[in-house]
Structure 1
Amino acid sequence: MSDKIHDLGSGFWNIRGSFRVGGVINIGTQCSLVKLASGRFVFLDSYALTGEVRDEVMALTNNGQDVEAVLNVHPFHTVYCTQMAKDFPQAVFYGSSRHHKKIPEVQWADDLVESNAVAKRYPELKFSLSEGIHYISPNEMIHAGSLLVFHPASKSLHVDDTFMSPPMKLLEAVLPDLILHPTTKKALKNEPNAGKQYCDWATNLAHDWRDVRNFCAAHSYLVKFKEGEFEKALLKAINKARPKLENA
């Protein structure tokens, strides 16, 4: 995967980046750039921008001066936050409590990224925090929980880990367009009906955000849905997993 920026229209750009596990296997990562009604910009997630992608971002954002905030929506995606803070020192950085603890050198805003205060600050975006599973799992290897962000104007959904597309296009013939993160079952909270709560949340999300056309997932690739396809794909994934999750 090489770095690439996709203009998805209506002020939304998805940046596909590289992330190597153990310095070898490139599983990819992402961030997105959103233009606000004010004319200023926010990033969803952090990434170390380089080359032509960096040049395009800087051209769009007045050499970065018009970036007002960076919203780090996945508590376990922390690798590039320090570099992002250096690249956009004037921006307000929002993160989870884990971001605050893991990267204290970044000057984090007091409001957590998943707070209502941040959601109200950016009416151009819709937010949904995964339910029934840990947002910040006590097990550092479990990353299924996240804060999902939908940009209605471009019909783009930015999601890290919680929902995924098949990891390789080769697998499209045998896998649905959407899959749940493989650690979802392990991420369930130790509470009655946690599995049902998760499945009901995801089902409601499929209905509420049925207009999604651009599915931007962290460790795969950009999926383009036609009308009605996102809702159908997510419901299929949830309905398949519901028996196992509800009986966990």
Structure 2
Amino acid sequence: MQQLADTFWNLRGVHRIGGLIDIGTHMSVAQRPGGGFIVIDGCALEDEAREALLALTSQGARVEAVVHVHPFHTLHVEATHALLPSAALYGTARHRERLPALPWAGAPVEAWGAEHPLDDTLDLSVPAGVDFVCLDESVHVASVLVRHRASGIVHVDDTLNVLAAPGSLGELLPQSSLRMHPMLGKALKTEPGATDAYAGWARDLALRWADTPKVCAAHSAVRMLAPGGFKDEVEAALDKVSGTLERHRKQYG
């Protein structure tokens, strides 16, 4: 468990493709103004990480909510709930459909507005212009991006990527800057204005969250940013997909 600020922690877990290639996954812990905790996402934890999480949260008693923010990250939802059963459980509509027996609270997370159950602690953003759940289930572009107000740290699953070498190589080889998801073209809505909606969302996010110091990205790494780096890197990431956006705009308007 890596402490990234006085009130924010990130934990990395194992996620293997075909039982062989570990692409990694993650979860984060954010402290609320009253001293309780919110767990963002869930992942398979080794014993040391599990014990660190429980020690931080008084054996889970101080975890007030668990919120799952990527519709296709479902493998560890039940295990996380079993570890923290007293916490209010929030998730997307797809989480609810896949795991209907769990005690889901409130509305689906992607439908939350500015006033939501965790708005004393977290700011949220859902990308515009893309399907939140694509018919092609290999396309995992959209998620609910989360920003912890007290620390400014962003937790994101797939929508923004950081390319980093696995394991010890990650300490030797440089990370990439922030990138848009490589399957963006398949997630854009097939309707006029979709590309402009997506680009507008990205530019607005870059401005509103410009002072973000760190980004915790699923499957890769924590991206440490210089002042103003979030704005610069999100805008540069948008530039890198300009060809994808232009092709879509020519086809759909």
Deviation (angstroms), 1:120:
4.9
Are 1:163 and 1:180, in contact at CA under 8 Å, matched by a contact in 2?
Answer: yes
- Return the alpha-carbon distance in structure 2 between the equivalents of residues 38 and 73 of structure 1: 23
Deviation (angstroms), 1:78:
0.2
* Matching residue within 82, 88, 107 for 2:84: 88
Question: Which amino acid in structure 2 is aligned with residue 34 of structure 1?
Answer: A
Are 1:58 and 1:64, in contact at CA under 8 Å, matched by a contact in 2?
Answer: yes
- Return the alpha-carbon distance in structure 2 between the equivalents of residues 237 and 172 of structure 1: 17
Query: When the two structures are superposed, what TM-score results if normalisation uses the length of structure 2?
Result: 0.90
Q: Comparing 86-95 with 42-51, which one deviates more in the overlay?
A: 42-51
1:29-108 equivalence runs, <5 A? 29-108=25-104
Deviations 1:15-35 (A, max 9, x none): 111110111100010100011
Which residue number in structure 2 is paired with residue 153 of structure 1?
150
Which residue number in structure 2 is paired with residue 213 of structure 1?
213
- Return the alpha-carbon distance in structure 1 between the equivalents of residues 30 and 91 of structure 2: 17
Which residue number in structure 2 is paired with residue 124 of structure 1?
121
Which residue number in structure 1 is paired with residue 108 of structure 2?
112
Which residue number in structure 2 is paired with residue 163 of structure 1?
160
- Return the alpha-carbon distance in structure 1 between the equivalents of residues 115 and 75 of structure 2: 22
- Return the alpha-carbon distance in structure 1 between the equivalents of residues 217 and 134 of structure 2: 20
Task: Give secondary structure in 2 for the equivalent of 1:126.
Answer: strand
Unpaired runs of 5+ residues, structure 2, are 249-253
Deviation (angstroms), 1:206:
0.8
Are 2:70 and 2:144, in contact at CA under 8 Å, matched by a contact in 1?
Answer: yes
Question: Which amino acid in structure 1 is aligned with residue 68 of structure 2?
Answer: N
Q: May I ask how many residue pairs the two structures share in their alignment?
A: 242
Question: Which amino acid in structure 1 is aligned with residue 217 of structure 2?
Answer: A
- Return the alpha-carbon distance in structure 2 between the equivalents of residues 129 and 233 of structure 1: 18
- Return the alpha-carbon distance in structure 1 between the equivalents of residues 136 and 173 of structure 2: 29
- Return the alpha-carbon distance in structure 2 between the equivalents of residues 91 and 129 of structure 1: 24
CA root-mean-square deviation: 1.7
Deviation (angstroms), 1:118:
6.7
Deviations 1:18-71 (A, max 9, x none): 110111100010100011011111111012333111111111111001111111
Query: When the two structures are superposed, what TM-score results if normalisation uses the length of structure 1?
Result: 0.92
- Return the alpha-carbon distance in structure 2 between the equivalents of residues 218 and 242 of structure 1: 24
Q: Percent identity?
A: 38
